[in-house]
Amino acid sequence: MRAAIEKHGPNPCVLTMPDERTPHSTAVDWVGLPARVVECATRSRALDLLDSAGGRALQEEYVEWRTVRDGVGVRRVEITTEMGEYWRVLAAHEPERLLDLVAEFSRQEDIRPDEVFGGLNPLDPSSTPEEREQAFASAMLATDDPNPYNDGRLAICCLSRSANTLRALAGMIAASTRILLTKDDVTDRVRCLTSAEAIPLLGDAGQVGRASDPVLIERLMRLAYERRLVALDDPVGVYVHSVEHSRLRTPDGGATPSDWFAFSRGSPPDETADGKPRWQRVCLEVPAETGWTVGDLVDSATGQPIRYGGQIAEMVQVAVIFRVSDPHAAAVDEPTLMQLDGVAELQCVDVVDLTEQVDSDHSDAL
Amino acid sequence: MTGARLQPGIYHSRGRRPPPNFRLVFLNASPGTVPDDIAGALEALHQMLGGLPQGEVRELDGQPDDHVEHSAEQFAGLEHMFAFGPRLFDDRLHDPPLTTVDRPDFLAYLPDDGPFPALRWVDGHAVSNLGEADVAIQLTGERPSGVNCAAVEIWKLLVDLGTPLSVVATFDGFGRHDGRGWLGFHDGVSNVEVSQRLHALAAPGDPDWMEGGTYMTFLRLAVDLPAWRRLSRTEQELIVGRDKLTGGALVATQRDENGEVIPVPAEPPGEDATDRQLSDHIDPPQTTDPLVEASHIHRANQNRASPSAPGALRMFRQGYDYLETLAGEEPRLGLNFVSFQRDLGIVQHMLHLPGWLGDVNFGGPADPGEGEPDQVRLIGVVAGGFYAVPPDDHPFPGAGCFPAPAAGE
């Protein structure tokens, strides 16, 4: 957070850590299907793209997933919101625990250390935490040379896209927790900027069209408008709050039991101060004794069978929790009204590029 | 984003208020209907309905000019809007298919065992949901007789033409001049800012025939008024999130010496209100009081962001109350919840997600603590459906869904 504040300049509303001045918690939530990709490509195309070989690059809502298929259809969908930064710390200080987790997520007996740490043996007492962290990051978080234990081929462990990092989240907070006002063209009243108006003013701190960034930015601007102090809750994270499981129907039209979704890597509601769950991983799998698979389930909201992981990500509600002060606690100068040059336009270049690549791959395959 | 392609009947522009009278007419096509027949019927309906505000009534063609003026007065302000339900796209019901264009993904039937986790059918399940049809026509106007007579003109035309479309259901409603609903509270105050409404409304081109159109949610909601009236004013205010008399949004709660909750409303904007006070009244500041956060107005706009943020789940509401009867043990009345939004997924998320409206029937804490209002099943769904409202078009809205048959077919 400190680095983000340094990058974006002093911000009287942002604290690096919650303290006694920030007794309240408030959550901002969204669902995990990338809204920008859907808007650029259409929903059906986006679902296909996001499950394709390069689709992970577009999973940009602080939610990444892998879709496990067999010859028939979708068997399992695994979704994570765990920050790569946390796994780096785990690699540095608890490499054995990390290897156990990778084995658990890949459903393998054990994992060879080199598969997760490259050339470094993390269990060698002579290795330093810095070396272990660096070796893990190079082996598991590199997007140009993805590792099968985190790119979905064998497992998914943590978020790996640059848009889905604590660094990106902190940058957005530092950049956008400011009072940004304009006079409304239609009503002539003073109001906070919309995200589309604010994003061009925030550098690279957010992207228009996403489910996450715009709603975070507008909420943070509103908190600043109320002159509240804001900090990320401790422990920092993007948490799974719930799943719209009641949308899913079994092949005989019945309701889908909620426990077909397995939540992990976090805390249940009865272990959190605000009674809200803080999970970081959820896996949908249909018990074998039913004779069905995930691909047999139908989303009643669309009438469509589950063919893609994105259909499940769309049902997953994730949230960032902030700790905030009472209003009027931040010493903020009276803002001036902003003259706006325009609004941010939806950017689709990367989506179009991947679409062309996938189309080309399909053509080659034929 | 000009909004020029939205059909009439969606009152989103500055200074336009929905006229006080409302009727929805639902039409189904009979088995074996071909697309050309549907197109012909809809074009005829569009033309006929468009003539009514000019006093052009089919059976009265040739009436004296002053009588034409009377007819025009009768249909003053009448606007009609065409919308297509999931049934229109259902090939299991229509052989041959009525249209070959793609069904929008979220244009789906309401589930029989729902329709939503906390908003249920009044009878427990959809025995015969009359709110889902091939075509819905929304009629709005200045006079009750105008929208009612227009509905009957629809029936007459379909009978006279012998078309395969027939009326299967109709629902009416009325607006109130005091801005309140059956619960006695101000309703619609927190609707989307005028300058943001087109962002909330205009559908993307997915599928492409819907670009510039919008989607309608219709839920005829029965209100359990006796149950509501058994609650204290404090309980009602905590559930709604506003002061009952002034309409001021609650900003906090306090406890008295007995532990009873006391709602703390914002001051309503007076004549000398600042911009900020006016904005806060329309779109209340976010609160960090969990009890206020659990109220209806915060649940319905949990993230307090504009429609340009997809995660804000904003919709433009245009509801009308109804009263069916006061006879019997309890009155039958409620709200025709009508909302327009760019994507029906927004409605699904809002009515499924906990913290929004997925874990409570209307408002208040899902798991109330000491002194907090208990959960009351206040509203239930009598009928309802999702509809695609195609962009305005010639010779009628949605004409592109029914391509003319190729020569020789």
pLDDT in tens, A94-151: 999 999 999 999 999 989 999 999 989 999 999 999 999 999 999 999 888 889 999 9
Å between A206 CA and nearest CA of chain B = 12
Of B244 and A364, which is predicted with more confidence?
Answer: B244
Among B81, B4, B390, smallest CA distance to B205 is for B390
Tell me: the pLDDT tens digits for B95-107? 999 999 999 999 9
Nearest CB among A35, A187, A327 relative to B195 is that of A187
What is the β-pairing status of strands A64-69 and A74-80?
antiparallel
**Angle value at C-alpha B345, between B339 and B346, nearest 5 degrees:** 50
* Helix, strand, coil % in chain B, rounded to nearest 5: 25, 20, 50
- Region B39-64: what's the mean pLDDT? 96
Question: By the 8 A CB rule, do B244 and B185 touch?
Answer: yes
Alpha carbons B7 and B212: distance in angstroms, whole number:
10
* CB within 8 Å: A187 and B312: no
Quickly state the pLDDT bin for B408 (edges 50, 70, 90). low
Among A36, A228, A30, smallest CA distance to B285 is for A228
Q: What does residue B338 show for φ and ψ, rounded to 5 degrees?
A: -125, 125
Nearest CB among B105, B117, B309 relative to A195 is that of B309
What sign does the dihedral A156-A162-A168-A172 (CA atoms) show? negative
Distances in whole angstroms, Cα of residue A357 to Cα of each of A52, A143, A361, A364: 10, 17, 6, 10
Q: What chain A residue is nearest to B283 in terms of C-alpha separation?
A: A191
What sign does the dihedral A9-A13-A19-A21 (CA atoms) show? positive
pLDDT of B5 higher than 80: yes
Question: By the 8 A CB rule, do A80 and A158 touch?
Answer: yes
| pTM, entire model | 0.95
Task: Count CA atoms closer than 13 A to B264's CA, side-chain side.
Answer: 10
In B, which residues are within 8 Å of A320 by CB distance?
Answer: none
**Angle value at C-alpha B377, between B376 and B383, nearest 5 degrees:** 160
Alpha carbons B71 and B79: distance in angstroms, whole number:
15
Q: What is the pLDDT of residue A335?
A: 85
In A, which residues are within 8 Å of B311 by CB distance?
Answer: 28-31, 35, 210-212, 214-215
For chain A, where are the E strands, in sequence order?
Answer: 24-31, 64-69, 74-80, 181-183, 190-192, 230-232, 238-243, 248-249, 261-264, 281-285, 298-299, 304-305, 316-324
Of B189 and A341, which is predicted with more confidence?
Answer: A341
Q: What chain A residue is nearest to B366 in terms of C-alpha separation?
A: A275
How many beta-carbon contacts under 8 Å exist across A and B? 144
Q: What is the pLDDT of residue B190?
A: 67
Share of chain A above pLDDT 90, in %: 82
Average pLDDT, chain B: 92
- Based on its alpha-carbon atoms, the radius of gyration of chain A, rounded to whole angstroms, reads 22
* CB within 8 Å: B352 and A26: no
By CB neighbour count within 10 A (0-12 exposed, 13-18 middle, 19+ buried), where does B384 fall? buried
pLDDT of B162 higher than 60: yes
Alpha carbons B409 and B407: distance in angstroms, whole number:
6
pLDDT of B2 higher than 90: no
Q: What chain B residue is nearest to A326 in terms of C-alpha separation?
A: B288
Question: By the 8 A CB rule, do B22 and B176 touch?
Answer: no
What tokens appear for A195 in the block? 């995200």
Of B268 and B142, which is predicted with more confidence?
Answer: B142
- Region A264-288: what's the mean pLDDT? 94
pLDDT of B128 higher than 70: yes
Å between B141 CA and nearest CA of chain A = 26
* CB within 8 Å: B311 and A35: yes
* CB within 8 Å: A189 and B278: yes
- The packing angle between helices B144-161 and B65-74, to 10°, is 110
Q: What is the pLDDT of residue A366?
A: 65
Alpha carbons A172 and B1: distance in angstroms, whole number:
28
Going by C-beta distance under 8 Å and a sequence separation of 6 or more, which residues neighbour residue A30?
Answer: A61, A211, A212, A215, A317, A318, A319, B303, B310, B311
In B, which residues are within 8 Å of A42 by CB distance?
Answer: 205-207
Nearest CB among A186, A194, A249 relative to B14 is that of A186
Alpha carbons A5 and A228: distance in angstroms, whole number:
17
Substitution target in A33, A191, A193 with the highest count of B β-carbons within 10 Å is A191
Q: What chain B residue is nearest to A225 in terms of C-alpha separation?
A: B285
Query: How far apart are the two ends of chain B, measured CA to CA in Å?
Result: 39
Quickly state the pLDDT bin for B3 (edges 50, 70, 90). very low
Q: What is the pLDDT of residue A53?
A: 87
In A, which residues are within 8 Å of B358 by CB distance?
Answer: 242, 244
* CB within 8 Å: A190 and B286: no
Question: By the 8 A CB rule, do A256 and B127 touch?
Answer: no
Nearest CB among A26, A30, A184 relative to B195 is that of A184
In A, which residues are within 8 Å of B288 by CB distance?
Answer: 24-26, 324, 326
Q: What chain B residue is nearest to A25 in terms of C-alpha separation?
A: B288
Q: What chain B residue is nearest to A196 in terms of C-alpha separation?
A: B308
**Residues forming beta bridges with residue B384, ordered by sequence position:** B219
Alpha carbons B296 and B313: distance in angstroms, whole number:
15
pLDDT of A249 higher than 50: yes
Tell me: the pLDDT tens digits for A161-219? 989 999 999 999 999 999 999 998 888 888 899 999 999 999 889 999 999 999 999 99
